[in-house]
Structure 1
Amino acid sequence: MGVEALITQMRRLAAHEGRWMASLGLWVARRSHGVGDTEIAVGYARAQAPTAYGLVFVFVVETGGVSFMLAAYPVAHLVMLLLDVYAVFLVLGLHAAAVTRPHVVGPTELRIRRGARLDLRIPLEWIRSARYDLRFPDTNKSEDGVLDVAIASQTSITIELTQPVTAVSLLGRPAKIHTVRCHADEPQTAVAAIKKLLPMDS
């Protein structure tokens, strides 16, 4: 990997860090990112909430235990304290990003999002079909042209396109996508909202 490519990836990671940190503020303020007055927010974070809160609890307990064990070693205590506090905020921030950055059904496009990692815009006229389709994708297998945007290891909506869109990974790797599988808290309601806005000949 060249130096320029490495710098680009570091910038993308830093931008991701900034997005989930900003999401904490939006979460506290009970606001959503990128949802206009004429658009419909489609939440998807409910399924991952128990895992997120469970991890936060584990990290908080670990912080207390490690602090007690390292009390006699101030430098090590400070380092571990900072790492544990960062871990707590990271988990909360990633969950906050999922809550405050929902999928968006708009009058001209559909935005499929996964927290601060993914924001895929699909013109409505490129959508061939949208349907409820509960799946538990195998993370060790991938299909060419298929993007699985799983939450808590599941997807519940399948969207097929008339022409491919380009999805860009967190580190900037592009991929041509003709089928998107994503999750929604209320998938059948989300599918109905998408179908209502599709062109009549879709």
Structure 2
Amino acid sequence: MRTVAALVRHELRLLVSIGLWVARRRHGVRGGAAFPYARGQGVTLLGFGFVVVIESVMMSVLLRGHPAVRGVWFAVDVYTLVLVLGMHAASVVRPHVLGSGVLRVRQAGHVDLRIPVDRVARVRRELRTTHAAAEGELNLAVGSQTTVTLELAEPVVHTGLLGGRREVRLVRLYAEDAAGLVGALTPARTAPSPSPGRPPSRGLVEGRPGAAE
């Protein structure tokens, strides 16, 4: 039952994302810096949508003698296309966001991980095209690529689409402006050094207030 509820919530997020996309609005960006990633998967989703259309046409011909079945199949294909559109829309309106001491790492409607910037030990640009599953690692590839790698000083808890929870210490993600994200995150995670004060007088250093005179 929990699995069904999680899938329903996910599909609702995709449908809401279509509305935000049409309205040219973004989700959760107010007051922060947005770093998009949707461009890297546009061609893939377009290709998938094209395959669904071709399949729908072919099945419509094959099932022309079974109107009831053809109607159900057509409805399923239309809903599949809506979900594909929703995946792309969610990727557009839900970018990565850096603000208020937190990096919000997202992927469409199924990943939304908040990483406090003070937990980021190292951040670097790193183009990777292969991602083997490993304990404590989260790979959010887009078009089979990641461009930024985050190493965390302390783990954060990632909750999966179906509610599974696990700790991650290394996160790889895709950002169209990888250099911009790394450049923005580096000063954000570095605490400013205290300004040097006026050096104490010799008398105070030696514990003899009159010695400086």
The TM-score with structure 2 as length reference comes to 0.86
Structure-2 separation of matches of 1:143 and 1:59: 33
1:61-114 Cα deviation digits (max 9, x unpaired):
322232233222111111110111011111111111111111101121000111
Which residues in structure 2 correspond to 1:82-97 (within 5 Å)? Answer: 82-97=75-90
Structure-2 separation of matches of 1:74 and 1:10: 30
2:98 aligns with 105
1:34-84 Cα deviation digits (max 9, x unpaired):
111x20111011111001111112222322232233222111111110111
Give the CA deviation at 1:156. 0.6
Q: Is the 8 A contact 1:159 1:180 kept in 2?
A: yes
2:66 aligns with 73
Q: Is the 8 A contact 1:137 1:148 kept in 2?
A: no
1:107-138 Cα deviation digits (max 9, x unpaired):
21000111101100011111112110111233
What count of residue pairs does the alignment treat as equivalent? 193
Q: Is the 8 A contact 1:97 1:116 kept in 2?
A: yes
Structure-2 separation of matches of 1:168 and 1:70: 42
User: What amino acid does structure 2 have at the position aligned with 1:55?
Assistant: F
Of 168, 178, 196, 2:169 maps to 178
Q: CA RMSD in A?
A: 1.5
User: What amino acid does structure 2 have at the position aligned with 1:77?
Assistant: R
1:51 aligns with 44
The TM-score with structure 1 as length reference comes to 0.90
Structure-1 separation of matches of 2:51 and 2:73: 15
1:9 aligns with 3
1:63 aligns with 56
Structure-2 separation of matches of 1:25 and 1:60: 22
Q: Percent identity?
A: 40
Q: Does 1:133 align with 2:126?
A: yes
Structure-2 separation of matches of 1:196 and 1:65: 55
Structure-2 separation of matches of 1:150 and 1:26: 24
Partner of 2:92, secondary structure, is: helix
1:153 aligns with 144
Structure-2 separation of matches of 1:80 and 1:191: 46
Give the CA deviation at 1:200. 2.7
User: What amino acid does structure 1 have at the position aligned with 2:59?
Assistant: V
Question: If you compute each CA radius of gyration, which structure gives the higher value, 1 or 2?
Answer: 2
